[in-house]
Amino acid sequence: PSAQPLRGKKIIVTSGPTHEPIDPVRYLANRSSGRQGHAIAEALSKLGADVVLIRGPVAIPDPVGPKTIQVETARQMLAAVEAQLPSDAAIMVAAVADWRPESEGGEKIKKKVGESTPSFALIENPDILRTVGHHRQRPALVIGFAAETQNLIDNAQAKLARKGADFIVANDVSTETGIMGGTRNQVRLVSKAGVEEWPELDKTQVAERLARRVADFFVNEIIEI
Ligand code: C5P
């Protein structure tokens, strides 16, 4: 078999958190490091794919190989993803903020003596995976991630259908696992065909294994597990 089975395939990968502005100096975010998404982008690139990595704000270096596009908010990430369609595959690894402050306030919210604590309303962000999974230019292969702290498999199976994905890579991000922000990961690959449990691995190994699955899909049209 070719060492570059994904040569000629364009693959979009999202990674990292999004930052949702509260005011010009504050934002709402989450603990995603970008490690898993960046590792997947790099692994696909090593198998010959033309990878476009669309990433939120992270502290780790951009991988060598993929073309990287930097964004901050979920809305920017969605626009960047849609601008890259059509593509052969899309792997949405980013921990997109589900909600954003309704008002981004043009001015810094000031603390004033004697005044009550400010409050702000949240509104829903667009769901990038769901948009891509149901897009008129839907890639042939759409993969999502599901970070859960409970009912991992049930939630992942529901997500497959709702988001229009071919695979959901499910991981338990309960605090004691140390996965969110850490270097190791333990995942289950969920498809319509079933659930496959992978051993605990480094995020780079999870990435390499997933990249080989993507290659299997394109070379042999294998999707079952
Ligand atoms: O629904 P939930 O956030 O758990 O779904 C996780 C999956 O959906 C991940 O693949 C994530 O990248 C994607 N997602 C997205 N846009 C959102 C929320 C989640 O692409 N607004």
**What is the value of ipTM here, to two decimals?**
0.94
Q: Average per-residue pLDDT in the chain?
A: 92
Span 170-179, pLDDT tens digits = 988 777 777 7
Is residue 145 within 6 Å of ligand 1 at its C-beta? yes
Residue 203 CA, distance from chain mean position: 14
Mutate to test the pocket of ligand 1, among 127, 141, 159 (most ligand atoms within 8 A of CB): 127
> Residue 174 and residue 54: Cα distance in Å, rounded?
26
Would residue 30 show up in a list of annotated catalytic residues for this protein?
yes
Ligand 1 atom 8: residue of nearest CA:
129
Q: Cα–Cα–Cα angle for 56, 167, 100, nearest 5°?
A: 35
Span 3-23, pLDDT tens digits = 899 999 999 999 999 999 999
CATH of 10-102+121-219, one of 1.20.1260.10, 3.40.50.10300, 3.40.1160.10, 2.60.40.10: 3.40.50.10300
> Residue 127 and residue 37: Cα distance in Å, rounded?
17
Token pair of 79 as six digits: 């626009």
